[in-house]
Amino acid sequence: MDSAALQKYLLRLFERHDVELDADEDGWLVTDGDFPAIRAEWHEGSAGEPGRLDVDVVLSEERRIEESFAGIGGGDTGCRDALHTFEQNAFHVLLAACWYVTDDRRMQIAAWDIGVRTWDVFIGPFNVRGVDGDAVSMPVEALAAVEVALKSEVLTPELHWLRLVHSHVADGDSRSEALLDNEPWTAGTLALAAVAWPHDGHDYSARCCMLLDVRDY
């Protein structure tokens, strides 16, 4: 799927949620001629490997959310698979935190006290790939562990974003990864790794996108 088709896809996706964005010639969708702006690019996989959908959301001249999603299948099939994952995993939390359109059926919304401030937290689902989602139950301790780790951070009073990933293969090997504002977050990775994830003979990966915004009073 080329950049023009992706731009049209995103434009219609936002329109379905009553957000009108303006398209420019570089593939970006902008908000009233300003930030936030969003763009997606599809990179076809080689030799049977999954392709990759890159989604960038520019918040300001200095800050940008960068997310990537694997797409299984060749050509448009792979791209649409990745777009489906984007919609399920990240779109609604981005819509809530960046465009202020909130659907609490698609996420958890919490208030966490971190430092001296209260933060609105938009928590996407732990989306599972590799098995039927009903075959793997995500531990409730995972988000609690991330919350504890975040409370040890000194966060600047602006929007922050997290990507949480856990993968497991049937032979018992597992790996956790946490990113905070696009950068590896060691405390978050250790927190996820300490959680008792399911080990029931399935290969799977679980991913969650979260955004935090300081609450205005």
Confidence of residue 25 (pLDDT cuts 50, 70, 90): confident
- pTM value > 0.75: yes
Task: Encode pLDDT of 144-179 as tens digits.
Answer: 999 999 999 999 999 999 999 999 887 767 899 999
Of 93, 24, 90, 80, the residue nearest 55 (C-alpha): 90
**Entry field: residues in the chain:** 217
Which residue spans within 7-107 are E strands per DSSP? 22-23, 29-31, 34-43, 51-58, 64-71
Beta bridge partners of 111: 120
Confidence of residue 200 (pLDDT cuts 50, 70, 90): low
Is pLDDT above 80 for 135? no
**Could you state, in order of their start, the residue ranges of all structural domains in the chain?**
3-99, 108-214
How is residue 145 written in tokens?
């562990």
Three-class SS state of 94: helix
Q: Are 171 and 188 in contact (CB under 8 A)?
A: no
Is pLDDT above 70 for 60? yes
Confidence of residue 73 (pLDDT cuts 50, 70, 90): confident
Confidence of residue 217 (pLDDT cuts 50, 70, 90): low
Exposed/middle/buried for 189, CB within 10 Å: 0-12, 13-18, 19+? buried
Is pLDDT above 80 for 39? yes
User: Dmax of the chain from CA atoms?
Assistant: 54
Higher pLDDT, 41 or 132: 41
CA dihedral sign of residues 182, 183, 189, 190 = negative
